[in-house]
A and B are shown apart, each in its own frame.
Chain A
Amino acid sequence: MSEYAIEAVGLRRTYRTRTGWLRPQRREVEAVRGVDLTVGNGELFGLLGPNGAGKTTTIKLLNTLLIPTAGSALICGHDVVTETREVRRRIGYVFGGDRGLYERLSALDNLRYFAELYGVPGREQQRRIAELLELVRLAGRERERVEGYSRGMRQRLHIARGLLHRPRVLFLDEPSIGVDPVAARELRQTVADLAATGTTVLLTTHYMAEADELCDRIAVIANGTIQALGTPAELRRHADGRQVLEVEAYGVADAQLAAIHALPGVREASVTVTGAAQVLTVQSDAGVDVQADVLRELDGVRLGRVAARQPTLEDAYVAIVNRVDTPARPVEAVAA
């Protein structure tokens, strides 16, 4: 057995698109620009990154859906380009969202079909399907058509489908996207249970809490390359020497945000919208109190709660991702 479940060396992928017939315009987009990573057997590995960072492309290169433009990857010791069928026997793929299932068939029919496709022996199918329906809590609803399922139920069916042939490596591409908090918690529990039974899991997600709770190690990918890699605790160190100020506000303008970003001691400043309110998050050097300056810049803006706190994994993630756009401050590799 190979030492690693997943090994990627210098993985690159360029998409070429052509638009127009009379005057065709060709465009090249480098989605993945040299990814190196190894994931151990039974490890739960997280791949975090903003939209368009190259997470899904990386997963599709590893699960044989795409052929790399350069570089190589092995799954359980098998090459993803030359030993496609061997790789496919050993992997499961689950992605988030509503698509990927036969809507007008029942969950049972979907599972029966994919069990056939993925080579589950006939005599084992019934038992395996019943076992998985139990695992993803769809037992009793399996004869209903998928089109009547909630998003959480579909997601659980996706997981059951991905596990039919007992894959050694499971790729989960944003499995909790659009799923309500209760369903997301159940899903995390299912993923944790899988990892506990020795399945190697590669998970991509936008949710830091999910990655923090589940993953043994995390790689942050941005701009097609891995910017940082380590345990959640190691990644948090990227925000060492910083403190965070959070301000609830209503109507922060772009110019004000730019002014705050330019304040002495401020390292990052961003605004997220939660309902009617905005939350301004300002990361600053630990020794510099920027609160008074920030509030002065927000003069005229209706404010709510103001709080200072220690940095979290999410703050570390923001720091890592934002540094990609500022090459003057390269991110040092964190020892795994």
Chain B
Amino acid sequence: MIGVGALLHTKQLSRSPFEIATALIVPVVQATLAVYLFRAGGEPGRLLEAAVGAGLMGVWSSVLFGSGGAIQNQRWQGTLEMLMLAPRPPALVIFPITLSTAVTGTYAMLATLLWGRLLYGVPLTFAHPLRFLVAAPGCVLGLGMFGLLLASTFVLMRNANALANTLEYPIWLVSGMLVPLTVLPGWTGPIAAALPTTWGARAVHEAASGGPVWPSLGICLAISLGCLATGALMMTYVERRARAAATLALA
């Protein structure tokens, strides 16, 4: 069921003109942003790190808006009620949606790297190319699991997109996707350590620029599994709350 669900949700997402336009434009914008940021900082040698960071931002946006936006889209389409009527645990119904956003997320990462190479000549010389091929999908999968936790709140909230918009920039900033964590205020440290995005980003950066990839990836997946379990429990609770508060439908 998860496989069929993820496949069909990816199919539905990939046929949206808005999604297609976003997928074409956003990676170019993010690659440009990252490259100029690092050039201005006088570190042109770290362009690959910049491109990978920008790609991670794309993954995060995809998961966040995939989870939040997809739930909201289901609500707009009138399909959220039909999904919730399925005689299955709610988490199992929603997980394929967040998983399909992970597939879209992988595309965002690849497209950002490709545009970085084509437009700005970013050298795609990875320190650990094979580890990168594991770390990037691992990170995407981890974020997909984190997405389920986010999705549970989006089921409850009728104006879920407002929350999704609020979360986009703070999380990629605090997770050190583009800016090193060391330049951020000390109080952000514990928050960063608790987020799977931080460890996923670290694993991908380490695979690209050198470093021990597996510990970071392991921590990312462990936290993400915790998020998946919490999300599954939350989803059951939230589904009941949504039925009590009448927020499954648009009105």
Contact = CB atoms under 8 A, between A and B. Distances in A.
Contacts of A85: 87-88
B15 A113 contact: no
A82 to B, nearest CB: 11
A162 to B, nearest CB: 9
Interface stretch (B43-51, B73-81, B213-221): B73-81
B87 A99 contact: no
A70 interface: no
Given A65-B243, A66-B243, A117-B1, A99 B78 contact: yes
B155 to A, nearest CB: 13
B8 A67 contact: no
A88 B8 contact: no
A113 B5 contact: yes
Contacts of B4: 112-113, 116
A118 interface: yes
Contact of A114 (B11, B81, B82, B243): B82
B84 to A, nearest CB: 7
Nearest to A56: B249
A104 B85 contact: no
B12 A64 contact: no
A146 to B, nearest CB: 10
Contact of B81 (A15, A65, A102, A109): A65
Of A88, A116, A119, the most chain B CB neighbours within 10 A belong to A116
A114 B244 CA distance: 24
Interface of B: 1, 4-5, 8, 11-12, 15-16, 77-79, 81-88, 93, 240, 243-246, 248-249
A-B complex: 9 closest residue pairs judged by Cβ atoms: A99-B78, A100-B78, A117-B86, A88-B87, A104-B15, A89-B87, A116-B1, A67-B244, A67-B243
Nearest to A65: B81
B12 A102 contact: yes
Contacts of A118: 86-87
B246 A109 contact: no
A15 B158 CA distance: 14
Given A15-B246, A65-B243, A93 B5 contact: no
A100 B5 contact: no
Interface in A97-114: 97, 99-105, 109, 112-114
6 contacts: A67-B244, A88-B85, A100-B78, A104-B12, A117-B83, A118-B87
A101 B77 contact: yes
A63 interface: yes
Nearest to B77: A99
Interface of A: 15-16, 63-67, 85-86, 88-89, 91, 93, 95, 97, 99-105, 109, 112-114, 116-119, 145, 161
A117 B84 contact: no
Nearest to A147: B15
Contacts of A119: 86-88
Nearest to A86: B87
A103 B76 CA distance: 12
Given A65-B84, A104-B11, A105-B11, 13 more contacts: A15-B246, A64-B243, A66-B246, A88-B87, A89-B87, A99-B77, A100-B81, A101-B77, A109-B11, A113-B8, A116-B1, A117-B1, A117-B86
Nearest to B240: A67
A260 B77 CA distance: 45
A66 B239 CA distance: 10
Contact of A65 (B15, B79, B85): B85
Nearest to A125: B4
Contact of A105 (B12, B85, B87): B12
A100 B79 contact: yes
Contacts of B86: 88, 114, 117-119
A105 B81 CA distance: 18
A93 B246 contact: no
B85 A63 contact: yes
A234 B11 CA distance: 52
Contacts of B77: 99-103
A118 B4 CA distance: 13
A101 B79 contact: yes
**Most B C-beta atoms less than 10 A away, residue of A113, A114, A145:** A113
Contacts of B83: 117
A117 B5 contact: yes
B216 to A, nearest CB: 35
A63 B87 CA distance: 12
Contacts of B93: 117
A103 B12 CA distance: 8
A118 B11 CA distance: 20
